[in-house]
Structure 1
């Protein structure tokens, strides 16, 4: 399937849910009505649960100060972060029954990447919300490819452990999951910086502004090393030092720290999926 055909298929790339579209319209107003936003959210129980899960993740959590209501969450986030959090939380509700994918594991890994990207962004004094969002969405293109071409060998390997699928998809299809994920993020009206980071996550040097895409590259590398249980000399030898140095990340060895983030448990990822997830 050609890329233009894939992107033209509404059934393949999920559309923005209507309630999310209404919330975004409200938040784009010169003086948004936060009470209307909260009212729209409280009528979407699954979306509210996913928002609270994100807000209470490493992204916003402060010790034991957990947020239990959508009103407190949106007040603490502010308008800009509320917009991105609503969009990000909605993503977990639109990918259902992806062939061959354990969605709990997929979102557990994606949340790990998001947390690492956020941590690196804070070190570099970048926007941690943008970094977290890019990390959370970085694998959506792989889900879309698996839905569109479930029997295609180049899209079948597990997303979170196979680091050769990017090259395999380019050779087979002429494009790969980063381009597809970027198209999804663009369709869902995520910020341009997030779209660009997802698009260039495997080759950050190709981006007009490679900083955020390099953060995403490093976050993906770190999470995959953890998934594959690579440690010791093998891990240090494989460190992408050139990418880290290109954006001024001097303490690159900290990516090898087993406690670089609080790793996401399955229960946290399960709350991100309608019906608890599972393998299709």
Structure 2
């Protein structure tokens, strides 16, 4: 299958849910009614659960306190971050089941990437919410490809531990999951810089502004190294020092540390699905 054929197949790329459309419509107003946003969110129980899980996963709260209500979450996040996390929370429902994929493991790894990306954004004084969301969505293109081509050899290994996936997909298909994921993010109306981060996550030097794509590249490297280390062969010798230096990351070595974040437990990822 060619990339243009896959992207033209509307059935393969999930549409933005109507409930999320209504919420985003309110958030797009010049002066959004936050009470209406809260009412709309509260009427979507599954979306609310995933939103609160994401808010607490991202550690937006201070003092270790957990956020337990929609009202508290939106008040703390602000409009822009609320918009992004509402969209991100809906993604879990959009990919409820993909043949041959352990969705709990997929989202566990994606949440790890998101948390690392957010921690790097904090250090670099970048948008932490955007970095977190980009990390969460970075592998969605692979899910879409799996639905379209379930028997494709370059899609068979588990996403989290497949360090050569991008190169294998380009060699076999001529495109890879970052391009498909970027198309998905654009269709769901995520910000342009988030779409670009996903699109160039494996080749940040090709991006006009490589800041967020580089940050995502590093977060993916760190999370995948952790996954591979479980098998005893983490690629620590291949640390992307040049990418880290290019965005001015002063403490890049911490990405090698197994304690770079509190790794996501399966039950946290299971709630997201």
TM bucket, shorter chain: over 0.9
CA distance in structure 2 between the aligned counterparts of 1:232 and 1:122, rounded to whole angstroms: 30
CA distance in structure 1 between the aligned counterparts of 2:232 and 2:92, rounded to whole angstroms: 35
Corresponding residue of 2:260: 260
Aligned residues: 273
Range that drifts further, 226-235 or 35-44: 226-235
Once the two structures are TM-superposed, the CA of residue 63 in structure 1 deviates from its matched residue by: 3.5
Tell me: CA distance 1:231–1:126, structure 2 relative to 1, closer, same or farther (3 Å): farther
Range that drifts further, 74-83 or 223-232: 223-232
**8 Å CA contact 2:196, 2:213 repeated in 1:** yes
Corresponding residue of 1:276: none
Q: 1:1-280 to 2 correspondence within 5 Å?
A: 1-229=1-229, 235-273=235-273
Q: Root-mean-square deviation (CA), in Å?
A: 1.5
Instruction: Give the secondary structure class of the aligned counterpart of 2:229.
Output: coil
Instruction: Give the secondary structure class of the aligned counterpart of 1:202.
Output: coil
Once the two structures are TM-superposed, the CA of residue 171 in structure 1 deviates from its matched residue by: 1.3
CA distance in structure 2 between the aligned counterparts of 1:105 and 1:198, rounded to whole angstroms: 20
| Stretches of 4+ aligned residues off by more than 3 angstroms | 230-236
**8 Å CA contact 1:138, 1:181 repeated in 2:** yes
Tell me: CA distance 1:232–1:104, structure 2 relative to 1, closer, same or farther (3 Å): closer
CA distance in structure 2 between the aligned counterparts of 1:185 and 1:133, rounded to whole angstroms: 10
Tell me: CA distance 1:176–1:25, structure 2 relative to 1, closer, same or farther (3 Å): same
Instruction: Give the secondary structure class of the aligned counterpart of 1:16.
Output: coil
CA offsets per residue over residues 159-199 of structure 1, 9 Å max, x none?
11001111111111111000000000000000001100000
TM-score by length of 1: 0.94
**8 Å CA contact 1:241, 1:252 repeated in 2:** yes
CA distance in structure 1 between the aligned counterparts of 2:220 and 2:76, rounded to whole angstroms: 28
Once the two structures are TM-superposed, the CA of residue 234 in structure 1 deviates from its matched residue by: 6.5
**8 Å CA contact 2:225, 2:236 repeated in 1:** no
**8 Å CA contact 1:117, 1:132 repeated in 2:** yes
Once the two structures are TM-superposed, the CA of residue 250 in structure 1 deviates from its matched residue by: 2.4
Instruction: Give the secondary structure class of the aligned counterpart of 2:93.
Output: coil
Segments of structure 1 that go 5 or more residues without pairing to the other structure are: 274-280
**8 Å CA contact 2:138, 2:198 repeated in 1:** yes
Segments of structure 2 that go 5 or more residues without pairing to the other structure are: none
Q: Which has the higher contact order (CA 8 A, sep 6+)?
A: 1
Once the two structures are TM-superposed, the CA of residue 148 in structure 1 deviates from its matched residue by: 0.5
CA distance in structure 1 between the aligned counterparts of 2:253 and 2:268, rounded to whole angstroms: 28
CA distance in structure 2 between the aligned counterparts of 1:182 and 1:102, rounded to whole angstroms: 22
Once the two structures are TM-superposed, the CA of residue 61 in structure 1 deviates from its matched residue by: 3.0
Corresponding residue of 1:278: none
CA distance in structure 2 between the aligned counterparts of 1:228 and 1:218, rounded to whole angstroms: 15
Instruction: Give the secondary structure class of the aligned counterpart of 2:78.
Output: helix
